[in-house]
Structures are given as structure tokens and as C-alpha cells.
Chains A and B, each alone.
Chain A
Amino acid sequence: MQTRTIEIELNGKTCSRAVPVTQTLASLLREGFGLSTSISCGEGNCGTCSVLVDGQPVRSCLMLAVQASGRTVTSLEGLADQLPRLQKAFAENHAIQCGYCAPGFMIASAALLCSNSTPSEAEIREAIKGHLCRCSGYSGFVSAILDAAAHE
């Protein structure tokens, strides 16, 4: 199997690793680095595997690990000071039920709040529309993000 050595800045640390060229970034993060990035559909339909690449949210299942070479990758663990505020807002607004989709939702929320610190409900719904929650707790996410924005 063809491999390539990539160097990425993952959650603030420079990492170098040989990866199979067929491996997705999602698989590298979860299986290679043991991070919280959830993998579900593998086809870009559910949003559980979203991470930030160079600060922009993307589906990590729709990006090969080799394509992340030379880039900055941020998973939930790398959200640093944003994370506690999001976790508190998600918990208080009952936005997490089984929790499987939470990493993707939190990445989408963090990306939204970075570009727009006072989003409207419509803007929030637009930002999370690519994320599926099988427990169907969508209004919980919306109020959690509004709450997180208010406590910025």
C-alpha cells in the first residue's frame, strides 16, 4: 500500500507521520491520534467528523489525510478556551443526548462564533444544517449556541 509522510499542526503541536494515501483525515484523527472526532456515514452527509482545517470547518471524511499535509488541523480537543464555554452551554441547554454527534456540532459552533459572535437563530440553523443528530435534539443545539454567544 502506498504511503506518504505528512506533517500537520494538530491542535497546536507539529506532528509527522507516514499515512496510507487512501486514509481519510477522519480516520487518521480517530484511529491514528485517538481524538474524539466521530466517524459515522463516511460520505459527508452527517457532519459528525467535522474539524477545522486552517480555521475553516470541513468534513474530515471528505478529505484525505495526505491532503492535510502542511495545514493546521483542529479537532474538539484543540478548541482550547472556547471548549469549556461550549460544553457548559451544551450541557445546560440539554443539547447533548447520546453525544455521538457532539464533536461535529461543537466544531460547527466554534467556527460560527469565530466568524460571527452574535449569530441570529437563522444563522445558527444555517451553520448547523449539515449536522445530523439522531436523538433529534436540534432546538437544544440552537439555544446552546445562542447561550454560548451571549456568554462570549
Chain B
Amino acid sequence: MFTYSAPTSIEEVLDVLSEWGSRARILAGGQTLLPLIHSGRLSPEHLVDINGVRSLDFVELQDDLTVGACCRQHSLDVFLRTRQRHSLLAQALPLIADNEIRNRGTICGSLAAAPLGAELPAIALTYNATLHVQSKRGDREIGATSLYKEDGTVTLEPDEILTSVVFPDSGESGAAIEEIRYTQLSFPACGAAVLVDAQGGVCASLRLSVFGRGIPAQRIDQAESLVEGEKLSDHLLDELAARIRKVVRVDSVPGVPADYARQVAGSLGARAFKRAVAQCEALTSRVQ
């Protein structure tokens, strides 16, 4: 049983969070929060609904893409479709649940709640997005790679709110996301997201993240250094998959045994890398 408030300014939201602390939860889209409450897994004493704070509902695209806390996944999906930018994010959004969930669910809510298997934390890690966080104690900026702990949970304090996220213009020309899910609506068991810059099949830079129900969202730095400066080949793909399998942190969860998660993370990482490199080639040949 919770009480409810719907402030109309960010200052009031910060007041409520400061007063209630960990007994309160922020309600934006509610697509992660309300299932937790309805299933009894979470019992907050207070919900602070931020949908009345107009200044949090925005998308802004300069070189970087800034997304406010109340921006829906569906709105951003539509926004990016017409602009041919931030290709990795644009590929990931339609994979989230279904259109009814995306009509309500927010980008920042998914990043802050970070349910295991969600795509967006891994996407934010791959871009190393910057998160703007506010509390009554002050404002701070945090990189996605510092936001997520090893177990996939976030380093936000109970009195803090994620007000916006900035996805930098990656400059990479190839992007791909691959995942495996058991049913149409379930969170993926395993997934991998990559941003690649390659020319003539030679990889100049790679950023690779893996995620899944059994894989806390994480960057695989050691895989990135392995392929940089190398030419795409079956051998390189095998090596990349093996490296991911060696270093990935997995948790055993029902239905996703740790060995399986490790194996599949490697395969999906290599598959996404191959597809992203091919995208760079297609782009190069179009330009020439």
C-alpha cells in the first residue's frame, strides 16, 4: 500500500525523494516498477509520479542525443527512425518488449531500474552514455560504465533521480545488436551490442557489451583490444568469441545456466561484430 504524489517541478520531486529516501520509488513509465509492486517483489511506501514535470519530457539531437526522464521508448524510436542517427540505439528500441510496453516505458526508467536482460543499460554502456543525476544535495554527471556495478545494479542513491541521458555521437560507422529470447515478450536470455569502425575489413575500433537474464550488462574491454587493427576473418571471429567466453561475468538464473550464457554471449558477440563490420563496408562502398 503506497501513498502517491504528482509534483509539477523537479524541485518538488527532489523534496519528496529527500523526505522519503529509500521508502519512495519514482514512477515514470511504470513498466518495470508496477510489475514489481503487483507481484509483491517490491513494496514502496510512496510513489512520486514525475509525468507532470514538463521539463523532463524532451529529446534533443545536436551531435549528441539527449533524452529526458519522461521520454517514452516509442517516441524515441519514432524520432530516430526519421533521422538515421545513433544506429545502435535505433536498432535496440524496437526489440524492447512490445509496442504497448514501449508506449509507456521510458529510456531513463529502463536505465535506472536496469532489470536483468534489458537492452538499454547495455546500449548505454556501449556508447558510454553520460547520465545527469539530481538530488537535493546537488547535481552530478556519471558515465554509464560507472553507473552499473558488477552485479548489474546501479550506483544511484535513493534520494537521486536520473533526469536525462546523453548518448554521444559515436562516430562509428557500424552498429549491431544480437539477442536470444525464449518467448516473444521475455527479456533476452543473452545478447550483445557492438559499435565498430572498420575500413577495408580492418577493424579500427570496437566497443562491445553483453547482457541478458543471466549476464549483468557489461563492457568486454579485453575483446575490444583483441580485434583492433585486425582484419575480419573466421579465425578472428573464433578468437573474439573465445575471448568473450573467457572474461564474461555470468550468473546462473533459472532457465539460463551459466555455461550456456557464457557460450552464447561469445557467439552473439562475434555475430554482432561481423554484421557491424559488414555495415561499415556497405557504407564505404556507397560513399565511393
Instruction: List the interface of chain A (C-beta within 8 A of B).
Output: 1-2, 4, 21-22, 24, 42-45, 47, 50, 53, 56-59, 61-64, 66-67, 108, 126-127, 129-130
Contacts and interface: CB of A to CB of B under 8 A. Distances in A.
B275 interface: no
A47 B100 contact: yes
Interface in B94-113: 97-101, 103-104
Interface string B3-42: 1101000000000000000000001001100110011000
Contacts of A63: 30, 34, 104
Contact of A129 (B2, B35, B98): B98
Given A44-B35, A64-B30, A129-B185, A50 B100 contact: yes
A64 B39 CA distance: 15
A67 B33 CA distance: 14
B145 interface: no
Of A57, A61, A62, A66, which is in contact with the most chain B CB atoms at under 10 Å from its CB? A62
A76 B257 CA distance: 42
27 contacts: A2-B3, A2-B4, A4-B4, A21-B3, A21-B4, A44-B34, A44-B35, A44-B101, A47-B98, A50-B100, A57-B99, A58-B100, A59-B104, A62-B31, A62-B34, A63-B34, A64-B27, A66-B4, A67-B27, A67-B30, A67-B51, A108-B100, A127-B99, A129-B185, A130-B97, A130-B100, A130-B101
A45 B1 CA distance: 22
Contacts of B27: 64, 67
A67 to B, nearest CB: 7
Given A4-B4, A44-B34, A67-B49, A57 B184 contact: no
B38 A57 contact: no
Interface residues of B, number: 25
Contacts of A2: 3-4
Contacts of A50: 100
A64 B4 contact: yes
A21 B100 CA distance: 22
Contacts of A108: 100
B130 to A, nearest CB: 29
Interface string B68-105: 00000010000000000000000000000111110110
Contacts of B99: 57, 126-127, 130
A44 B34 CA distance: 9
A21 B98 CA distance: 27
Nearest to A43: B35
A1 B27 CA distance: 19
A59 B4 contact: no
A57 B72 CA distance: 13
Contacts of B100: 47, 50, 57-59, 108, 130
Given A24-B34, A45-B35, A47-B98, 20 more contacts: A2-B3, A21-B47, A22-B1, A24-B38, A42-B38, A43-B34, A50-B100, A56-B74, A56-B103, A57-B99, A58-B100, A59-B31, A59-B100, A62-B101, A63-B30, A64-B4, A64-B27, A67-B27, A67-B30, A129-B98
